[in-house]
Amino acid sequence: MILVLKRGVAGPERTSLQELAVRAGRVCRFVPASDDAVVAILDGGRDRPDPDLAARARLWPGVMAVVEPGEELPLTRAAVGAFAVAPRHGRPVTFGPRDFVWIAGPCSVEDPTMLGEVATAVAAAGATMLRGGAYKPRTSPYSFAGHGREGLLLLERVAQDVGLPVVSEVLDVRDVDFVAQHVDMLQVGARNMQNFPLLSEVGACGRPVLLKRGPASTLDELLAAAEYVLHAGCTSLALCERGVRGFDPNRRNVLDLSIVPALRERTNLPVIVDPSHATGCRSLVLPMAKAAVAAGADGVMVEVHSRPTEALSDPTQALLPADLDELGTALRALVRLEQRALASVQEAVTPDASVRREPAAHDRERTT
C-alpha cells in the first residue's frame, strides 16, 4: 500500500504513521518521490486487498492519498469463463463462450397443470434450462409469494419429467441447503444482490449460482457481489443483467445491454440477460432477447406462462408457449452469426484453457 504524503510532513507525523502501520501489522518505509515530496510504503500484512485499512489510512496525519496496488477483485478477474451445470437427472449443460444458454419457464410455480404445460413447451422448443420461482420476493406483502418448499419439489419433479436442468431463486440463508438439494443452479435475485450473508452461504453450497444485478446497482457493485460468492468457494458463477431503474413510466426498467461488453473487460464470468424482468412487456421480450445476442451475452432467460390472464405474478411480461418457437428460431440464427451454438442439454465439457475467453482488456495491456 502506498501513501502519498502532504508536503512538509515532519518527524512527529512520520513517527505516528510508523506506529499506526505497526498496529495494522505493516512496516512503514519512507521513499523520496521527488526533490520535496515523499511517499510512505506499507509492506507486509495480508496477501489480499485490505479496503478497511485503506479507508483508515486516508485519515492518518499527513496522508493526502492512498494507492493500493493489485487487483481489488482477484477472484472475479481470474474466474474461468466456462462451467458445466451437472443435474442429478439428465445430461449437463455448459455455460461459456462457445454456447448460448436459453433459460425459460414461469415466474412462479403455481400448480402442476400450468407448470407441466410450460415445461413441456420449453423443452420442445429446445431451451437449455427450466426456471421457476418457488420463493418469490414481492413488493407487496399481500401478493403471491410462492409455495415455498412444496413448489420447489413440484418444480424438481416436472424438470425431471421433461429432462431439463432447473434454476430457482433462494431468498433466505436458512433455505439454502434445502434449495441446493432440489435444484441444479441457485439464483440470487436482484433484491438480494447485496445480501452478503446470503451470497456467502450460496457460494459455499456447492451448486452453480446465477447472480442477478440489483435494480440500482453499478457494475462495480455487481462484481463485488460476485467476489463474495467466489470467495465463499463457488467455482461456477454466471451474472445476469435484468434491467435497472429508470425514469420512464412506460417501461418497467431500462435494459442496460452496454454492461455486457463492459463486464467482458473486467471478468470472464458468463453474462446472461433477462429481457422479461427488464421490460415488463411481452411485446418487448423477443426484440431485446435478439439484441442480447448481438451485445455478446452468453444467454437469455425469459418467462413463459400458458395462461397469463390467470398468472399469480408478472402476467404482462410472460411469453406464451406459442412464442417459444419464434424465439428459438431467432436465437439459433443470431447465435450462428456470432459463431456460437445454441446450447442444448448435452455431455459435460470440462472447462480448460481452450474454453476461456480472451483476456480482458486490462490483462491484455499488462501482457503486451
User: pLDDT for 156-183, tens place per residue?
Assistant: 999 999 999 999 999 999 999 999 999 9
Same domain, 216 and 137: yes
Instruction: Give me the count of residues in the chain.
Output: 368
Which residues 6+ apart lie within 8 Å of 73 measured at CB?
49, 223, 224, 226, 227
Same domain? 37 vs 172: no
Nearest Cα neighbor of 263 from 211, 303, 205 is 211
pLDDT for 69 equals: 66
**What is the average per-residue pLDDT within 270-289?**
96
The answer on 216 and 127 residing in a single domain is: yes
Q: Are residues 254 and 317 in the same domain?
A: yes
Shared-domain flag, residues 43 and 131: no
Determine the pLDDT at residue 359.
44
Residue 212 belongs to some domain of the structure? yes
**What is the residue range of 10's domain?**
2-70
Q: Alpha-carbon torsion 107, 109, 111, 115, what sign?
A: positive
State the cell numbers at 271: 453474462
How high is the mean pLDDT of the chain?
88
What does residue 335 show for φ and ψ, rounded to 5 degrees? -65, -40
Residue 107 pLDDT greater than 90, yes or no: yes
Residue 135 in domain: yes
One domain for residues 217 and 84 = yes
Residues 203 and 61 in one domain: no
Rounded to whole angstroms, the Cα distance separating 167 from 129 reads 7
Flag whether 360 is in a domain. Answer: no
In this predicted structure, the answer to whether residue 349 has a pLDDT above a threshold of 50 is: no
* Count of structural domains within the chain: 2
Alpha helices for the chain (secondary structure H):
11-23, 51-57, 74-78, 112-124, 148-162, 176-182, 196-203, 219-231, 259-264, 275-279, 282-295, 323-337, 361-367
**Between 20 and 155, where is the model more confident?**
155
pLDDT band at 365 (very low <50, low <70, confident <90, very high): very low
* C-alpha dist (Å) from residue 166 to 74, 186, 199, 328, 344: 30, 9, 19, 19, 13
Exposure of 101 by Cβ count < 10 A (0-12 exposed, 13-18 middle, 19+ buried)? buried
Domain identity same for 80 and 53: no
63 plus 88 within the same structural domain: no
Question: End of a domain among 70, 89, 119?
Answer: 70
Note whether 243 and 180 are same-domain residues: yes
Exposure of 213 by Cβ count < 10 A (0-12 exposed, 13-18 middle, 19+ buried)? buried
CATH number at residue 349: 3.20.20.70
| CA count, 13 A, side-chain hemisphere, 266 | 19
- Report d(CA 319, CA 112) in Å as an integer: 19
Provide the pLDDT confidence category of residue 368 given band limits of 50, 70 and 90: very low
More confident residue, 8 or 111: 111
* Domain contains 157: yes
CA dihedral 212, 324, 125, 89 (to 10 degrees): 30
Three-state secondary structure call for residue 351: coil
* Domain match, 99 and 233 both: yes
Cell of 215: 435494480
- Tell me whether residue 361 is in a domain: no
Q: Within a domain: residue 341?
A: yes
Q: For residues 234 and 297, state if they share a domain.
A: yes
365 in a structural domain:
no
Beta bridge partners of 42: 28
Lowest mean pLDDT among 223-227, 260-264, 293-297, 362-366: 362-366
Report yes or no on 215 lying in a domain: yes
Among 15, 47, 70, give the residue marking a domain's end.
Answer: 70
Looking at per-residue pLDDT, the higher value among 294 and 359 belongs to 294
pTM over 0.85: no
pLDDT band at 350 (very low <50, low <70, confident <90, very high): very low
Average pLDDT over residues 285-305: 97
C-beta separation of 186 from 209 below 8 A: yes
Q: Residue 17 belongs to a domain with what CATH number?
A: 3.30.70.1140
**Long-range pairs of 347-350 with CB within 8 A, sequence gap ≥ 24:** 347/91, 347/92, 348/84, 348/86, 348/91, 348/92, 348/94, 349/82, 349/84, 349/92, 349/94, 349/96, 349/98, 350/84
Let me know the angle formed at the C-alpha of 259 by 239 and 130, rounded to the nearest 5 degrees: 35
Give CA–CA dist 242/143, Å, rounded: 21
